[in-house]
Amino acid sequence: MDKIKQKIQELRDLINQHNHYYYDLDKNIISDIEYDELLIELVRLENNYPQFKDENSPTNRVGGGLSEKFDSESHVYPMYSLDNTYSSEELEAWYNRVVKNIGITDFEFCCELKYDGASVNLLYDEGKLVRGLTRGDGSNGDNITKNLKTISSIPIKLKESFKKNKFEIRGEIIIHLDSFAQLNKKRKDNGEQPFMNPRNTASGSIKMLDSNEVARRPLECFLYSIVSDDIAIEDHSELLNVAREMGFNVPNYERVVNSIQGVKEYIKYWEINRKTLPFEIDGVVIKINKIDYQNQLGFTSKFPRWAISYKYKAENLATRLKSISFNVGRTGAITPVANLEPVLISGSTVKRASLHSYDQMLKLKLRVNDFVLVEKGGEIIPKITGIDEERRGSSEDEIIFPEICPECNSKLEKLESEANYFCTNYIDCRPQAIGRIQHFVSRKAMNIDGLGDETIRLFYDLGFLRDIADIYNLNYDEISKIEGYGEKSAKNLKKGIEESKLNSFQKVLFGIGIRYVGESASKKIIKHVDSIDKLAHMDIESLSSIDEIGDKTAKSIVDFFSDINNIQIINKLKSFGLNFYQKDNDNHSAKLNGKIFVISGVFESHSRDEIKNIIELNGGKVSSSVSKKTNYLVAGNNIGPSKLNTANELGVSIINEVNLIDLIS
């Protein structure tokens, strides 16, 4: 059973990591099919071993997480993802489930293109754009209204005759292929690095902090769905026409068909003709057209049962391998990246492709001048999937994995349980040291303003920073003399650093960067361990008894505290006044044990993350949707009406943030 539990946790960690890459960093490091296979395996294990189920599992979450750069707010209606299918057999299985649930075979489908962009949700009230959010986790999204208002195809005010009450409209931010080519030409002319593909460029653009820069990007918004209680329309296809009449940009590619054979013909047509489109798609979306049937079919925790996406397989082409570079990550992992003869795949030129790990490189036995098969399915660094055996380089030119770190020349090690080699120079290897500092100052950790990634690299190279403890011993007089800085910048930086000393033990624990101890694990640990000193003296067995802490994480914690360098850094941080124990005023208790909360709305005295932390620190659990198991709905301003209605129907107690504090005081 311990092995099953460990496998489930490893899958959750891996899927969460890929979600972070895709939604937060705008990059894919595995294909959609590989990602779905991981998710299917996790669903299978969780169903077979229900004792290991967790409401925070990625199988219960929609999309990725929330960005550290923006305030998050609740969607009025949950923003679900779509279940994926890759074959006619899977499509037939979905169709048969629909027929079984609605009890008839005579119904229409609305087939649409699946735009390859970044999902957004726009809220309109009395004809005016009120707010624009990213998909986020499906319940909450990042507020990027200011950026979205710079996109000309998003109406700020609707036509007078089509004003409605409050409704949400969903869409994708995309960049046309011609506009993307022009954008990259300008960047090349200015000596800047060209962007890799339209999807990631669009996603990264809408999450920029400078809306003036967003306005300079050639972004478009394609809308595809309205959600409201106030619009009485019978068919989804009619809803699209209403959206067009209101002034929204709804591309006219949908087709209504009355059979599954018609759906297959639509899929086949666009698989052949998608290259004629002026923008990228990665498949089609099939929806039951009649809205009454949609309501009858309802939703799972993640997907609508009345819609599914059919994904096209990624384009796979051969090109010549020139060399392999070896990159060092924050944890010391060495990642091989192939340098290729440029090849045009899916509308963009590919020059590099990821090999992900030593194990994959060993399996392929790559040589210089090999012709390798490269797959690019929206990936920022495409992937090598195989070799053309008839076009191989010389056997003498087989590329050998290095024995020393390419950054610091330290010896590399490979653990039996890992797919990668690691640099052993934990302290002085530049990418590792810089990565640890960047993690420590991030919003979900110490949240220190003024220490961005580039500033950290500059301070490291100038010798101001060598480890996270150096942050609290900076020479602000010297900093004020750096070009581009000044007394005001140095003063603001000092203020942010001093304020970070007030952060809780949980944020400090997460920030110090123990491998495998993420935000969730750090919260679990402090429910059982109230000081860093107690944690440092725990063994693997006692650590593994903590919920969600497997043997792998437990061993990592023990290894961390057995390193004298880590102990010295923690002692320095203690001397600077950081919190390494759970204080009484940290609202840490067991008063909410067994209670399930749902959070909705905007709060006056606390952020949503703070509300969530208060609940979890006191033993409660936070769920994304109201159900019979929900004990309390914590309601703020602009609460989602669907959550409020469900809570009233089920008799769930509705409280505000003051009531919540009363529960634990």
Helix, strand, coil percentages (3-state) for the chain, rounded to 5, are: 40, 20, 40
- pLDDT (mean) for 460-486: 91
Task: For residue 150, count CB atoms less than 10 angstroms from its CB and return exposed for 0-12, middle for 13-18, buried for 19 or more.
Answer: middle
One-letter identity of residue 313: K
Close Cβ partners of 487 (under 8 Å, ≥ 6 residues apart): 480
Select the more confidently predicted residue: 100 or 7. 100
First to last CA, the chain: 39
Give percent above pLDDT 70 in the chain. Answer: 90
Do the beta carbons of residue 350 and residue 343 sit within 8 Å? yes
Query: What pLDDT is recorded for position 35?
Result: 66
For the chain, what is the mean pLDDT?
85
Whether 595 is a known active-site residue: answer no
Do the beta carbons of residue 517 and residue 553 sit within 8 Å? yes
- CA quadruple 3, 9, 15, 20: dihedral sign: negative
- pLDDT (mean) for 472-497: 89
Select the more confidently predicted residue: 188 or 633. 633
Asked if pLDDT for residue 15 goes beyond 60, the answer is yes
In angstroms, rounded to a whole number, what is the distance separating the alpha carbons of residues 374 and 100? 41
Asked if pLDDT for residue 65 goes beyond 60, the answer is no
Query: What pLDDT is recorded for position 610?
Result: 78
pLDDT in tens, 497-556: 999 998 889 999 999 999 889 887 888 898 889 899 999 999 999 998 887 788 888 999
Query: pLDDT band at residue 26, thresholds of 50, 70 and 90?
Result: very low
What is the homologous superfamily of the domain 74-311 according to CATH?
Answer: DNA ligase/mRNA capping enzyme (3.30.470.30)
Query: What pLDDT is recorded for position 95?
Result: 95
Close Cβ partners of 484 (under 8 Å, ≥ 6 residues apart): none
- CA quadruple 552, 554, 559, 565: dihedral sign: positive
In angstroms, rounded to a whole number, what is the distance separating the alpha carbons of residues 441 and 427? 18
Query: What pLDDT is recorded for position 45?
Result: 77
Read off the DSSP letter of residue 349. E
- Report the predicted TM-score, pTM, of the whole model to 2 decimal places: 0.53
Read off the DSSP letter of residue 24. I
* Residue 373 CB-half CA count within 13 A: 10
In angstroms, rounded to a whole number, what is the distance separating the alpha carbons of residues 467 and 482? 20
Query: What pLDDT is recorded for position 405?
Result: 94
Query: Taking the domains of the chain in order of start, what are their residue ranges?
Result: 2-58, 74-311, 315-413, 430-584, 587-664
Q: Which residue has the tokens 């220190």?
A: 448
Do the beta carbons of residue 264 and residue 92 sit within 8 Å? no
Asked if pLDDT for residue 236 goes beyond 90, the answer is yes
* Residue 71 CB-half CA count within 13 A: 12
In angstroms, rounded to a whole number, what is the distance separating the alpha carbons of residues 411 and 515? 20
DSSP, collapsed to helix, strand or coil, labels residue 294 as helix
In angstroms, rounded to a whole number, what is the distance separating the alpha carbons of residues 16 and 19? 5
Cβ density class 571-595: b for 16+ within 10 Å, e for less: ebbeeeebbbebeeebbbeeebeee
CATH 3.40.50.1970 fits 2-58, yes or no: no
Q: Domain 315-413: state its class.
A: mainly beta
In angstroms, rounded to a whole number, what is the distance separating the alpha carbons of residues 154 and 249? 8
pLDDT in tens, 647-664: 888 989 999 988 898 888
Select the more confidently predicted residue: 267 or 607. 267
Q: Which of 27, 69, 114, 488 is catalytic?
A: 114
Q: Domain 430-584: state its class.
A: mainly alpha
Residue 14: phi and psi, rounded to 5, are: -65, -45
Tokens describing residue 1: 């059973």
Read off the DSSP letter of residue 475. -
Query: pLDDT band at residue 232, thresholds of 50, 70 and 90?
Result: confident
Do the beta carbons of residue 114 and residue 285 sit within 8 Å? yes
pLDDT in tens, 93-119: 999 999 999 999 999 999 999 998 999
DSSP, collapsed to helix, strand or coil, labels residue 585 as helix
Query: What pLDDT is recorded for position 349?
Result: 78
Select the more confidently predicted residue: 302 or 109. 109
pLDDT in tens, 628-645: 889 999 998 878 777 888
Query: What pLDDT is recorded for position 66?
Result: 47
Asked if pLDDT for residue 626 goes beyond 80, the answer is yes
- pLDDT (mean) for 162-169: 76
Do the beta carbons of residue 277 and residue 116 sit within 8 Å? no
Q: Which of 519, 424, 421, 465 is nearest to 16 (CA)?
A: 519
Q: For the domain made up of 587-664, give the CATH fold.
A: Rossmann fold (3.40.50)
Do the beta carbons of residue 131 and residue 185 sit within 8 Å? no
Query: pLDDT band at residue 343, thresholds of 50, 70 and 90?
Result: confident
In angstroms, rounded to a whole number, what is the distance separating the alpha carbons of residues 320 and 544? 47
In angstroms, rounded to a whole number, what is the distance separating the alpha carbons of residues 246 and 249? 9
